[in-house]
């Protein structure tokens, strides 16, 4: 997944209460450009893929791209996503999944993931 050419950034609200877990602290703007040379595990045709993003401190809060039908090994997402961040030491988990069209038999399959510490992108955006 490359997001270097898009508008990925982090903005922080210094007036928020740092002690409260539910208080809003900042926004992470994610531009999901594309994925390249991922393993195509679909044996009949090009796989349908999507990307999911979550923060390690709240793994149940997920944002996802649309499904790229027939994306195969080189899906183009070109999609903007936004996440709320309440902890500055957060780590963003980026995943690429293949959609299962036969949910009675197979679950969606994880194709790959990356972990990005927010300390690497804080102060680089807005």
Report yes or no on 124 lying in a domain: no
Higher pLDDT among residues 104 and 29, named by residue? 29
Report yes or no on 6 lying in a domain: no
Report yes or no on 102 lying in a domain: yes
Residue 7 above 90 pLDDT?
A: no
Percent of the chain with pLDDT over 90: 50
Report yes or no on 62 lying in a domain: yes
Number of structural domains found in the chain: 1
Report yes or no on 3 lying in a domain: no
Mean pLDDT over 26-51 rounds to 89
Contact 96, 51 (CB under 8 A): yes
Range of the domain at 56: 26-119
pLDDT in tens, 100-112: 877 667 899 999 9
Closest by CA position to 52, among listed 102, 108, 97, 104:
97
pTM of the prediction? Answer: 0.76
Report yes or no on 4 lying in a domain: no
Q: How far, in Å, CA of 106 to CA of 126, rounded?
A: 41
Buried-exposed string 12-27: b where 16+ CB fall within 10 A, e elsewhere? beeeeeeeeeeeebbb
Residue 2 has a pLDDT of: 46
Mean pLDDT over 4-18 rounds to 50
Report yes or no on 78 lying in a domain: yes
Contact 37, 73 (CB under 8 A): yes
Higher pLDDT among residues 10 and 79, named by residue? 79
Residue 20 above 50 pLDDT?
A: no
56, exposed or middle or buried, with CB in 10 Å at 0-12, 13-18, 19+? middle
Residue 63 above 90 pLDDT?
A: yes
* Residue 94: Cβ within 10 Å count: 18
Residue 19 above 60 pLDDT?
A: no
Q: What is the CATH number of the domain that holds 104?
A: 2.60.40.150
Contact 66, 50 (CB under 8 A): yes
Report yes or no on 11 lying in a domain: no
């Amino acid at each position: 997944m490359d997001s270097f050419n898009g508008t990925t950034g982090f903005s922080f609200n210094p007036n928020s209460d740092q002690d409260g877990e539910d208080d809003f602290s900042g926004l992470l703007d994610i531009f999901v450009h594309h994925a390249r040379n991922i393993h195509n595990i679909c044996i009949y045709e090009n796989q349908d893929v999507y990307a999911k993003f979550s923060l390690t401190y709240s793994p149940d809060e997920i944002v996802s791209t649309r499904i790229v039908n027939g994306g195969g090994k080189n899906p183009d997402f070109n999609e903007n996503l936004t996440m709320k961040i309440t902890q500055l030491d957060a780590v963003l988990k980026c995943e690429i999944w293949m959609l299962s069209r036969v949910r009675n038999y197979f679950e969606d399959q994880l194709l790959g993931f990356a972990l990005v510490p927010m300390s690497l992108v804080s102060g680089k955006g807005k």
